[in-house]
Amino acid sequence: MKKSALPDPFEQARLEKGYGDINDQDDPVTMILRLKDVRKCAHNWKTFQSGATPGRIVVPSEVNIRETRQIPFEVDPPMHGTYRALVESWFRRPLEPAYQEKLAKQINEIVDEVLTADAVEVVEEFALRLQSRALTLLLNIPYEESETWISWGTHVFRSEDDPLDGDKANILYDYIDEQIDNAIENPGEDLYSVLLAAEVDGRKLTKEEVKGVMILTFAGGRDTVINAVTNSIAYFADHPESLVQLRENPEITGKAVEELVRYFAPLTHMGRVVTEDAEVCEHAVKADSRISLCWASANRDASAFENPNEVVLDRKINPHVSFGFSHHKCLGATHARQILKTLLTILAEKVKSIEILDLKENIEEWGKFKRKVGYDSITVKFKAR
């Protein structure tokens, strides 16, 4: 098997019963594995809610490391729509030419840099830097600020040996509190200031609400983007012919991004809390228990995707759910897609091949399911065209 392959650990359970039971910190989760069921449950917010105790819909649960509700992600309709309407146009800015030019400049710079190095550890030296620098555009704040975020490492809630590290999480929360206070004193054109000036139902957002949006912006788009970028590099290392295909057919770049994101599924799943006794896949789920919508499994559902375990860069029909589904669809998707489109274009233009020198896989364990989601580290040598 190619080194970049991400096998599907859910196939058997998806075919046989459509769900899988896992335990997470003594708060069990029924993982929903088929695309059809994932979509149905994502739609049904009355029975499968997001607005539970903050942190509880995340798997692994974050109830022990935070109290702030992430907005709009941990809010149900109709309030969800009210919050979302506030931020939607801001998160569409990556479609503007000026934004895209700045992003292309950043990505050209980092690609030029790695092309001259003998060996590059992609997670820390490429993906994390690229993600942090690009985030300065999404927040509309000075580029230099990315140095601070890079110093936090790849995951803001996890440390080497602890999947949920309260001390580490506090670094992010304290930082955001400080930035909000700065923006109150010196309002600018950044996302903090925009949120502080915004109104819902005729009142200003509270500091806690602004913090909720900012935590989501930092945490939701961090390891996910890092995984997508790192997995893309590994994929092109194994498939130099794909770089040629993209160079010769640049019109497929958008489709290629969707296909890589389908195959990688950078976020394995997202939870919901069950509000009333219900049934999924003829399986009873109890009120106040949890389900999860398993994007990674749904993306390999053979009833919707032909040859689901193959990367087909110009795949025509691709209803993947890597950015979620229904009203909670990823707010950062426009930014993430633009990063990947730009990255693919620049790699195709400048890179001949990538050689993998060393790697350590990042394997998530969900009960009996073990899923490779990317790499803890992967060292490569980039070769220029």
Spatial distance between the Cα atoms of 324 and 270, rounded to a whole number of angstroms: 8
Spatial distance between the Cα atoms of 227 and 322, rounded to a whole number of angstroms: 12
Q: Residues 154-183 vs ligand EMZ: string with x where CB under 6 A? A: ---x--------------------------
Q: Does 220 bind ligand EMZ (CB under 6 A)?
A: yes
Spatial distance between the Cα atoms of 175 and 154, rounded to a whole number of angstroms: 16
Q: Does 217 bind ligand EMZ (CB under 6 A)?
A: no
Spatial distance between the Cα atoms of 44 and 242, rounded to a whole number of angstroms: 39
Stretch that binds ligand EMZ, among 124-132, 183-191, 219-227, 360-368 (CB under 6 A): 219-227
Q: Does 110 bind ligand EMZ (CB under 6 A)?
A: no
Residue number, 190 or 223, with CB nearest to ligand EMZ: 223
Spatial distance between the Cα atoms of 364 and 347, rounded to a whole number of angstroms: 29
Which of 47, 50, 70, 146 binds ligand EMZ (CB under 6 A)? It is 70
Q: Does 195 bind ligand EMZ (CB under 6 A)?
A: no
Spatial distance between the Cα atoms of 247 and 292, rounded to a whole number of angstroms: 39
Report the DSSP beta bridge partners of residue 280: 283
Report phi then psi at 102, rounded to 5: -65, -40
Angle at alpha carbon of residue 59, lines to 292 and 210, rounded to 5°: 105
| DSSP of 71-107 | TTTT--TTHHHHHHHHHTTGGGGGGSHHHHHHHHHHH
Q: How far is the CB of 320 from ligand EMZ (least distance, A)?
A: 15
Residue number, 18 or 332, with CB nearest to ligand EMZ: 332
Q: How far is the CB of 223 from ligand EMZ (least distance, A)?
A: 6
Residue number, 73 or 149, with CB nearest to ligand EMZ: 73
Residue number, 102 or 155, with CB nearest to ligand EMZ: 155
Report phi then psi at 378, rounded to 5: -150, 115
Q: Does 74 bind ligand EMZ (CB under 6 A)?
A: no
Q: How far is the CB of 130 from ligand EMZ (least distance, A)?
A: 17
Residue in 218, 221, 208, 322 with CA at minimum distance from that of residue 270: 322
Q: How far is the CB of 217 from ligand EMZ (least distance, A)?
A: 9
Q: How far is the CB of 330 from ligand EMZ (least distance, A)?
A: 6
Q: Residues 244-283 vs ligand EMZ: string with x where CB under 6 A? A: -----------------------x----------------
Which of 32, 33, 58, 373 binds ligand EMZ (CB under 6 A)? It is 58
Q: How far is the CB of 158 from ligand EMZ (least distance, A)?
A: 8
Q: Does 216 bind ligand EMZ (CB under 6 A)?
A: yes
Residues 6+ apart with CB under 8 A from 48: 41, 42, 272, 273, 274, 275, 278, 291
Q: How far is the CB of 97 from ligand EMZ (least distance, A)?
A: 27
Q: Does 223 bind ligand EMZ (CB under 6 A)?
A: yes
Stretch that binds ligand EMZ, among 180-188, 218-226, 256-264, 372-380 (CB under 6 A): 218-226
Q: Does 62 bind ligand EMZ (CB under 6 A)?
A: yes
Residues 6+ apart with CB under 8 A from 365: none
Q: Record the tokens describing residue 383, joined without a space.
A: 């070769």
Rounded to 10 degrees, the C-alpha dihedral 142/228/70/172 comes to -50
- Residue 247 contacts residue 385 (beta carbons within 8 Å): no
> Binders of ligand EMZ: how many residues, by CB under 6 A?
10
Q: How far is the CB of 157 from ligand EMZ (least distance, A)?
A: 5
Which residues contact ligand EMZ by CB under 6 A?
Answer: 58, 62, 70, 73, 157, 216, 219-220, 223, 267
